[in-house]
Amino acid sequence: MQNTPQKSTLTEIEAAAYINMSRSFLRHARIDGNRENRTPAPKFIKIGRAVRYPRDELDRWLSQFPRQSHLYESGQKI
């Protein structure tokens, strides 16, 4: 069985699946940028009309969010 190398950049569809978020989240995050009280956007690359998300940037973006076993750890209310 041959191992295929992982792609270093992902399309919007692939990136959405990778971070388990919707394509519309990524699209709105790109358009709106980082706004107060909103989840910050992951970094992306624009090549002409094509948008690509570097896998390492997505990993970095995911790692900024705290790991929690329940919502009360972060002081959030249900």
pTM of the model: 0.76
Total length of the chain: 78
Q: Does residue 30 lie within any of the structural domains?
A: yes
Residue numbers of the domain that contains 21: 9-63
Q: Does residue 14 lie within any of the structural domains?
A: yes
- Partners of residue 54 on adjacent β-strands: 9
Q: Does residue 75 lie within any of the structural domains?
A: no
Q: Does residue 2 lie within any of the structural domains?
A: no
Q: Scan for tokens 């910050």, then name that residue.
A: 40
Q: Does residue 53 lie within any of the structural domains?
A: yes
Q: For residues 43-55, b (16+ Cβ closer than 10 Å) or e, as one string? A: ebeeeeeebbbbb
Number of domains in the chain: 1
Q: Give the pLDDT confidence of 61-76 residue by residue, as tens digits.
A: 999 888 777 766 555 5
* Cα 31 to chain centroid, rounded: 14
Q: Give the pLDDT confidence of 26-56 residue by residue, as tens digits.
A: 999 888 877 777 888 899 999 999 999 999 9
The one-character DSSP state at 38 is S
